[in-house]
Amino acid sequence: MARPRSLGEPPPDYTPPSRTAAPQILVGSLKAPLWLRAYFQGLLFSLGCRIQKHCGKVLFLGLLTFGALALGLRVSVIETDLEQLWVEVGSRVSRELQYTKEKLGEEAAYTSQMLIQTPRQEGENILTPEALRLHLQAALAASKVQVSLYGKSWDLNKICYKSGVPLIENGMIERMIEKLFPCVILTPLDCFWEGAKLQGGSAYLPGRPDIQWTNLDPEQLLEELGPFASLEGFRELLDKAQAPSVAQELSGGCHGFSHKFMHWQEELLLGGMARDPQGRLLRAEALQSTFLLMSPRQLYEHFRGDYQTHDIGWSEEQASTVLQAWQRRFVQLAQEALPENTSQQIHAFSSTTLDDILHAFSEVSAARVVGGYLLMLAYACVTMLRWDCAQSQGAVGLAGVLLVALAVASGLGLCALLGIAFNAATTQVLPFLALGIGVDDIFLLAHAFTEAPPGSPLQERMGECLLRTGPSVALTSINNVVAFFMAALVPIPALRAFSLQAAIVVSCNFAAVMLVFPAVLSLDLHRRHCRRLDVLCCFSSPCSARVIQIVPQELADRTVPVSIAHLTATVQAFTHCEASSQHVVTSLPPQAHLVPPPSDPLSSELFSPGGSTRDLLGQEEGTRQKAACKSLSCARWNLAHFARNQFAPLLLQSHAKAVVLVLFGALLGLSLYGATLVQDGLALTDVVPRGTKEHAFLSAQLRYFSLYEVALVTQGGFDYAHSQRALFDLHQRFSSLKAVLPPPAAQAPRTWLHYYRNWLQGIQAAFDQDWASGRITHHSYRNGSEDGALAYKLLVQTGDAREPLDFSQLTTRKLVDKEGLIPPELFYVGLTVWVNSDPLGLAASQANFYPPPPEWLHDKYDTTGENLRIPAAQPLEFAQFPFLLHGLQKTADFMEAIEGARAACTEAGQAGVRAYPSGSPFLFWEQYLGLRRCFLLAVCILLVCTFLVCALLLLNPWTAGLIVLVLAMMTVELFGIMGFLGIKLSAIPVVILVASVGISVEFTVHVALGFLTTQGSRNLRAARALELTFAPVTDGAVSTLLGLLMLAGSNFDFIVRYFFVVLTVLTLLGLLHGLVLLPVLLSILGPPPEVVQLYKENPEVLSPPAPRPGGLRWGLSPTLPQSFARVTTSMTVALHPTPLPGTYIHPASDEPAWSPAATPAANGSSNLTPRGPSPATE
């Protein structure tokens, strides 16, 4: 009788092929995806071996490079300018803003400091004498603010904005008038005499006390100053500027010091108003006073060359410092003006307050950064420490987290060197987000390094680690980088900068993990080889003296029934620590008994895991055994054990699949409904920390005074003089918009062209009166009024440079024709006269002409005739019509107003007038017109890119399609959950939603790879994928959550809601979809396996080398005549099920050169060992 062949023997007809035939066999037996992946893994294997060989040099150079890049943080710039952060790049708003800056400069004409008074008892009426006296007390305290800087004292009268100061030839009188000229203060106190107390100007005249607004008699002052200068123009001004009436009521608003030009509407002064059926004001819930200050440039120009600043090197920076110091003091004193026991409360705010908020929002919280990284250090150390010193990696975990911290710093430093400005998202979020993503890959490599295949040479350990984990790290990192680069498509500068910085930081993390961290692992391997303690590597390990003699045993030929899948031996194990590889070697004696397979058909073919693993592209079939002391069941439990024995069998049952699909379908349906609840917008109250005084002011302002100053800008490129009708029509269309606050019927229109025309009609009427009375004749105007003389000079103008004057036109023409239009030949000449003769009208119109008309002083008593020659203004390239928008509470209101304004400008363009709207609503809210379209475009492009990247690296479009399907579902569900949480859609959530596609790849690719590279039915492969990836996916989610945890402690509710909450929800969705939904989908719709058993009638295989002396030989049952069985030296050994007739299985070998190559998935691995030429298949 023929002796049965042992497992290590080939069939009798086997002829070993030559070595030269191996590559052809290898290539010919693999599909293209496996061959390409094997080539890529071969490159990673070579890289790992070289890093291990030169680990010290690599570590030194890596730390040196990353440290040098981190020094770039010294040149970082934090951007806090709202326009630079939020105005869409390349948009029409950006172009319009640039045009405005080219014509007018960088700054607005003035800055606003506001006081809002509200009752402490909500809903209480504030229109009482007591409330008004308290408002006066707070406003008076704020108006008396003084700050001392550069050896000078600065008060409100020096830095406030003064509108319409007349030009006076006498310098001394001009300075006196300027000191007395009132500041522009919009306050309900202007309805009463007490409003004059807010004006702090004073002047000195010999023989009388200081002149102030509280003791000023304007007409008496003119009489006293008359002998020193001609004040007729100022007398005209005072005739127009009537003092506020003490008896004037608040109803209908109040008037400033110029009754004709300064009318403060109710909406500017009162909030929460209630009226009776007849429209009379009954009550209000808020009062508002607004103090206007000069801009830094205006303040610099105002005091440049002045005797008060000649000795301090006056500069624009100093002017800005003065204004900021005054504004901070203003807010402080105003908030402290009323005692706590009063019935009213004061909310104060200034432009500097907003700048301070943005600076505080952008500052790096050192405590939170240090706390987050210390927490991650503790987590890494605790989770990687082991009692077995040969397996413990606590020091590796600490070094890995510190390396990620250095990589994040180097990435941000590189961004600074590239000129990418930092912002609040960079400083508040990116360090923690990058930490969570980077540490995930650190855990991946560290776990895989401890699970090197048994018998692999010591010098190739790092190569094996990168071979098995490198593709996974590359795939997830590339997807993250692509996701953030796609998020840079959002054209908001702040978010584009954040996306680019995140992409660069993730790239630095990837480089650190793939190049520097392997050197750390190699050094730790040296520590283990020298038998040193973990962390405290200066001390020897206690297990170094523990040596147990191995007793080689041989198992005789046994009959193994086909139905038996597990062989369990009851033994006395003899172990020792092998010096070459630090493996615990176990010897099995011949006494063995067979255990029937478990009833679970899934777990019967799954191999027992050796612990948590990140080996996503392949796992070794055998598991290494520890010393033969029987451990408790709780000590053997881990996440992989839970996934194999409890989770996967339950999830992959038919009824469980149905429940999962129904639940996730319901979640998707609810999310689609929630998506309809998402509103656009980002209010300033969302950014400011709740509970602060600034938040209280912004909340009160949004509730009671939702007013926005805007302007309709007309550009150059058309003839203003011949387009007056089109300009009037444009103003009419704009004024008819729903959001535009209409002026009271008694107030003059808020348009420079109306003011200009009305002024011309006024002086024409004065001329007509003087002409009719004979005070003005063809040859003289000296006896006429000031206005009549001005009209005389304009009426004789021809607009012809060769013959500029024609006196015959005095009675044959009018300054304004019957249609209400100014004669084109007089337009620019008259503009010069109006600008220089009607300062209050010009200031009220807020025209901001560019180029500005030339200076010209009217002198009625000029006898030379030169005063008749009036220089014409240059053709206008910039002018504006001011408007007030009201009732803008929601983003939809802003969008409606923006669309109406744009439509009006488009219609004007058809008539030849080039115009555009300007103001904060157009700067910061116009982005919402195309934000959703931009979001959908970015997500679609990113999903396509993710599909291409996954299809390229996985070489399986089917799997890539399923991954993209799950990612799209997660994005929709995250968007819907935002709607239920009340999180509004703005540029920041859009960036997170776009980046979530890349971040979610971490949760899906792992499972898909595990499914793709295993054999069996779809259920078995899904279960195997869960077993291999449940632990790494969970660990990755925990590390990400720990990285985000510090965001929960931010002082800014905005950071908590828009970053921590959204990213936490994303992480939880990723866990559910990656570990629940995707396995179910793969078990139903998954692609076929990449590797299957090869069935041949005449197999030709390579002969394995002879077993080592003392090795284990396992006999083959005579009942399996055509099969070879592979087993490993583990306490529980898995045997393959009976192969089909005509098949064969290669005998396994523990020789490293005989790692399976052709069918890696058959052994639970898809990795092709590149260092050996063997193409042996199993």
Strand partners, 575: 586
**Angle 288-294-297 (CA atoms, 0-180°, nearest 5)?**
150
pLDDT of residue 986 exceeding 80, the answer is yes
Average pLDDT over residues 619-634: 40
Q: What is residue 545's predicted lDDT score, i.e. its pLDDT? A: 43
Average pLDDT over residues 1071-1088: 90
CA 428 to CA 750: how far, in whole Å? 44
SS (H, E, C) 444-461: HHHHHHHCCCCCCCHHHH
SS (H, E, C) 225-293: HHHHCCCHHHHHHHHHCCCCCCCCCCCCCEECCCCCCCEECHHHHEECCEECCCCCEEECCEEEEEEEE
- CA proximity to 261, closest of 750, 735, 742, 710: 750
pLDDT of residue 970 exceeding 90, the answer is yes
CA 364 to CA 422: how far, in whole Å? 11
pLDDT of residue 1134 exceeding 80, the answer is no
Distance of CA 711 to the CA centre of its chain: 30
Q: What amino acid occupies position 1015?
A: Q
CA 274 to CA 781: how far, in whole Å? 54
Spatial contact of 518 and 48, defined as CB atoms under 8 Å apart:
yes
CA 273 to CA 584: how far, in whole Å? 83
What would the pLDDT profile of 1149-1170 be if each residue is shown by its tens digit? 333 333 333 333 333 333 333 3
Backbone angles phi, psi at 1091, to 5 degrees: -125, 130
Average pLDDT over residues 1050-1066: 84
| 3-state SS, residue 593 | strand
Q: What is residue 577's predicted lDDT score, i.e. its pLDDT? A: 44
Strand partners, 714: 879, 915
- CA proximity to 115, closest of 256, 233, 288, 231: 288
pLDDT of residue 318 exceeding 70, the answer is yes
CA 382 to CA 363: how far, in whole Å? 31
CA 417 to CA 410: how far, in whole Å? 10
> Pick the residue with more confidence: 113 or 530?
113
72 pLDDT tier (thresholds 50, 70, 90): very high
560 pLDDT tier (thresholds 50, 70, 90): very low
Spatial contact of 301 and 105, defined as CB atoms under 8 Å apart:
no
Spatial contact of 613 and 1028, defined as CB atoms under 8 Å apart:
yes
Of 214-228, 995-1009, 1098-1112, highest mean pLDDT? 995-1009
CA 262 to CA 3: how far, in whole Å? 116
- CA proximity to 426, closest of 988, 971, 985, 925: 988
Q: Is the peptide bond before 851 cis (omega within 30 degrees of 0)?
A: yes
Q: What is residue 597's predicted lDDT score, i.e. its pLDDT? A: 41
* Least confident residue range of 428-437, 746-755, 1114-1123: 1114-1123
* Least confident residue range of 48-62, 625-639, 1056-1070: 625-639
User: How many other CB atoms sit within 10 Å of the CB of residue 1161?
Assistant: 25
CA 6 to CA 98: how far, in whole Å? 85
Consecutive H or E run containing 884: strand 878-885
pLDDT of residue 904 exceeding 60, the answer is yes
What contacts 360, CB < 8 A, 6 or more positions away? none
Q: What is residue 240's predicted lDDT score, i.e. its pLDDT? A: 39
| 3-state SS, residue 795 | helix
Q: What is residue 222's predicted lDDT score, i.e. its pLDDT? A: 60
SS (H, E, C) 392-441: CCHHHHHHHHHHHHHHHHHHHHHHHHCCCCECHHHHHCHHHHHHHHHHHH
pLDDT of residue 1112 exceeding 90, the answer is no
CA 908 to CA 899: how far, in whole Å? 14
- CA proximity to 479, closest of 1065, 1000, 1025: 1000
Inter-axis angle of helices 752-773 and 824-837, to 10 degrees?
Answer: 90
CA 878 to CA 97: how far, in whole Å? 12
pLDDT of residue 847 exceeding 70, the answer is yes
pLDDT of residue 165 exceeding 70, the answer is no
Strand partners, 286: 271
90 pLDDT tier (thresholds 50, 70, 90): confident
Q: What is residue 109's predicted lDDT score, i.e. its pLDDT? A: 65
Phi-psi region of 463 (alpha: psi -120 to 50; beta: other; left: phi over 0): alpha
- Terminal CA-CA length for the chain: 29
CA 593 to CA 933: how far, in whole Å? 68
727 pLDDT tier (thresholds 50, 70, 90): very high
CA atoms within 13 A on the CB side of 159: 30
* Least confident residue range of 42-56, 394-408, 917-931, 1039-1053: 1039-1053
Question: DSSP H helical segments within 533-688, as ranges?
Answer: 633-636, 639-642, 648-651, 654-675, 684-687
Q: Which residue has the tokens 């023409």?
A: 813
- CA proximity to 142, closest of 163, 115, 116: 115
What would the pLDDT profile of 510-542 be if each residue is shown by its tens digit? 999 999 999 988 888 877 777 677 666 666 665
Average pLDDT over residues 922-950: 84
Paired sense of beta strands 344-350 and 152-155, if any: unpaired
CA 957 to CA 392: how far, in whole Å? 40
CA 188 to CA 127: how far, in whole Å? 10
DSSP string, 958-1016: HHHHHHHHHHHHHHHHHHHHHHHHTPPB-HHHHHHHHHHHHHHHHHHHHHHHHHHT--S
What contacts 919, CB < 8 A, 6 or more positions away? 708, 709, 710, 711, 885
pLDDT of residue 971 exceeding 70, the answer is yes
What would the pLDDT profile of 440-450 be if each residue is shown by its tens digit? 788 778 877 87
pLDDT of residue 708 exceeding 70, the answer is yes
pTM of the model: 0.70
